[in-house]
Amino acid sequence: MTVDYFTYDVAEHWVCAIEYGDYSALDDEEIPLLEEFLDNLPSNAIGWDWSDNSRFVHDDVSGLLADCLEGKLYIKGKL
């Protein structure tokens, strides 16, 4: 099996919701943003790997500047 990945910059406060489905830290306006982001991810995804250090860059979920972790979304197959 070939494995490849996409890289995303994701604000730290989204990670728990992405990894565990725990939306309790999100407000009602943030949930649709996250759901749209997740709906547009590749369907052949197999898991995430998160960096240990944050960077202040544009968040790929909201488009706003934030302290973000680099997330590698591993997928089956080639890009």
Span 38-58, pLDDT tens digits: 999 998 999 999 999 999 999
- What was the pLDDT predicted at 2? 86
In this prediction, residues 64-74 reach a mean pLDDT of 98
Beta bridge partner(s), residue 6: 73
pLDDT digits (tens, 9 = 90+) for 18-42: 999 999 999 999 999 999 999 999 9
Residue 8 has pLDDT above 80, yes or no: yes
Question: Contact 56/66 with Cβ under 8 angstroms?
Answer: yes
Q: How confident is the model at residue 79 (pLDDT cuts 50, 70, 90)?
A: low
Residues 6+ apart with CB under 8 A from 56: 65, 66, 67, 68
45-50 and 65-76 as β-strands: parallel, antiparallel, unpaired? antiparallel
> What is the Cα–Cα distance from 72 to 48, expressed in whole angstroms?
6
